[in-house]
C-alpha cells in the first residue's frame, strides 16, 4: 500500500514572511495527517519555512536543484546546500522550467541523479502538451520523459523518486484532466517503471497527478488506483483549500 503524498508547489509566490505564515497554518491543519505533506516555497523562503515546519509532519521541498556539487554556476543551488538547512524534497523538470528555462530531458536526468546522490527525494514532473495530446502521442511523450529522467539510476534509488504527472494543458488553466484520463496516464507511467525496474518497483513508486487539482476535484482524482497524491499549485496557496486536499488524500 503506497502512502499518498500531497505537495504544494508555491511557484514564485509569497514573500518570506507570507510563506512562514502559510507554513504555520498548514502545520496546524496537517497535524497527524495520514499522508505525506510537503510544501515547496521559493529558495529564499526555504529557511523560514523549514523553521516553521520543524518538529511537525510537514516536510519542505525546493523547486529546483543544480546538477553540479559546487562551482561557477551563478544563481544556482546545490543539493547539499538544501539538505544542510533541512530540505527533504525537490521538484525537478516542472513544465514551467522546461518551457521558460531551457530544461530538457537530459538536464532533468542530471538533476535527478544529483538530488538522489545528495540525499534529496526528487519529485520528477512529466506531462504532455495540448498538441501532443491532440496528436495522440501522450503515452509516447510521457514514456520518453520517464525513461530519460531515470537513465542510469539504479532500482533502489528509483523507488525513492516521486513522479508527478502534469499534463501541461491542465496547469494553472482551471482545466483538470478527468480522473479517468489522469489515472490512465499514471498507469502508463507505472507500466514504464515496471518495464525499467520490474513489477515490485512499479508497485512501490508513487505517482502524483498535478494540474488544477483543487478542493473540489481532489477526492475523485485521489480515489483512482494509480494516483498516489497531488502536486498542487494555485490551491496550495490557500491553507484551507490545501487542507481539504490533504484530508481527501487521507480518505482515498
φ/ψ of residue 58, rounded to 5: -90, 125
**Is 232 an interacting residue with respect to ligand PGA (CB under 6 A)?**
yes
Among 185, 189, 202, 213, binds ligand PGA (CB under 6 A): 213
**Is 40 an interacting residue with respect to ligand PGA (CB under 6 A)?**
no
Nearer Cβ to ligand PGA (211/229): 211
Q: Could you say which of 59, 96, 128, 166 is catalytic? A: 166
Cell 508555491 -> residue = 10
Q: How far apart are CA 30 and CA 127, in angstroms?
A: 29
Question: Which residue's CB atom is positioned nearest to ligand PGA?
Answer: 233
CB of residue 7 vs ligand PGA: minimum separation in angstroms? Answer: 8
CB of residue 163 vs ligand PGA: minimum separation in angstroms? Answer: 13
Taking contact as CB under 6 A, which single stretch among the options 65-73, 74-82, 138-146, 204-212 is the one that binds ligand PGA?
204-212
- Count the site residues for ligand PGA by CB under 6 A: 13
**Is 64 an interacting residue with respect to ligand PGA (CB under 6 A)?**
no
- The interface with ligand PGA within residues 87-126 (CB under 6 A) comprises none
| Residue 230, C-alpha cell as written in the block | 497531488
Among 9, 112, 138, 145, binds ligand PGA (CB under 6 A): 9
Reply yes or no on whether 166 is catalytic.
yes
Reply yes or no on whether 220 is catalytic.
no
Nearer Cβ to ligand PGA (61/233): 233
| Residue 159, C-alpha cell as written in the block | 523507488
φ/ψ of residue 40, rounded to 5: -125, 90
**Is 231 an interacting residue with respect to ligand PGA (CB under 6 A)?**
yes
Three-state secondary structure readout of the chain: CCCCEEEEECCCCCCHHHHHHHHHHHHHHHCCCCCEEEEECCHHHHHHHHHHHCCCCEEEEECCCCCCCCCCCCCCCCHHHHHHCCCCEEEECCHHHHHHCCCCHHHHHHHHHHHHHCCCEEEEEECCCHHHHHCCCHHHHHHHHHHHHCCCCCHHHHCCCEEEECCHHHCCCCCCCCHHHHHHHHHHHHHHHHHHHCHHHHHHCEEEEECCCCCCCHHHHHCCCCCCEEEECHHHHCHHHHHHHHHHHHHC
Site string for ligand PGA, 138-167 (x = CB under 6 A): ----------------------------x-
Closest CA to 226 of 250, 199, 203: 203
Q: Could you say which of 59, 66, 94, 96 is catalytic? A: 94
**Is 233 an interacting residue with respect to ligand PGA (CB under 6 A)?**
yes
Taking contact as CB under 6 A, which single stretch among the options 25-33, 44-52, 186-194, 226-234 is the one that binds ligand PGA?
226-234
Active site residues: 94, 166
Binding site for ligand PGA (CB under 6 A): 9, 166, 171-172, 210-213, 231-235
Amino acid at each position: 500500500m503506497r502512502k499518498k503524498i500531497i505537495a504544494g508547489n508555491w511557484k514564485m509566490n509569497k514573500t518570506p514572511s507570507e510563506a512562514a505564515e502559510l507554513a504555520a497554518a498548514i502545520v496546524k491543519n496537517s497535524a497527524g495527517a495520514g499522508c505525506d505533506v510537503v510544501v515547496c516555497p521559493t529558495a529564499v523562503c526555504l529557511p523560514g519555512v523549514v523553521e516553521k515546519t520543524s518538529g511537525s509532519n510537514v516536510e519542505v521541498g525546493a523547486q529546483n536543484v543544480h546538477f553540479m556539487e559546487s562551482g561557477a554556476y551563478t544563481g544556482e543551488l546545490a543539493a547539499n546546500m538544501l539538505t544542510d538547512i533541512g530540505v527533504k524534497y525537490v521538484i525537478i523538470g516542472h513544465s514551467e522550467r522546461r518551457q521558460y528555462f531551457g530544461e530538457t530531458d537530459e538536464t532533468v536526468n542530471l538533476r535527478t541523479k544529483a538530488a538522489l546522490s545528495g540525499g534529496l527525494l526528487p519529485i520528477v514532473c512529466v506531462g504532455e502538451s495540448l498538441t501532443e495530446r491532440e496528436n495522440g502521442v501522450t503515452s509516447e511523450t510521457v514514456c520518453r520523459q520517464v525513461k530519460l529522467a531515470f537513465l542510469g539510476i539504479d532500482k533502489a534509488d528509483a523507488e525513492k523518486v516521486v513522479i508527478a504527472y502534469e499534463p501541461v494543458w491542465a496547469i494553472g488553466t482551471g482545466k483538470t484532466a478527468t480522473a479517468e484520463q489522469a489515472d490512465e496516464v499514471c498507469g502508463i507511467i507505472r507500466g514504464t517503471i515496471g518495464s525499467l525496474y520490474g513489477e515490485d518497483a512499479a508497485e512501490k513508486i508513487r505517482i502524483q497527478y498535478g494540474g488544477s487539482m483543487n478542493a473540489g476535484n481532489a477526492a475523485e482524482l485521489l480515489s483512482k488506483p494509480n494516483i498516489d497524491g497531488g502536486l498542487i499549485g494555485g490551491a496550495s496557496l490557500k491553507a484551507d483549500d490545501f487542507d481539504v486536499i490533504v484530508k481527501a488524500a487521507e480518505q482515498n
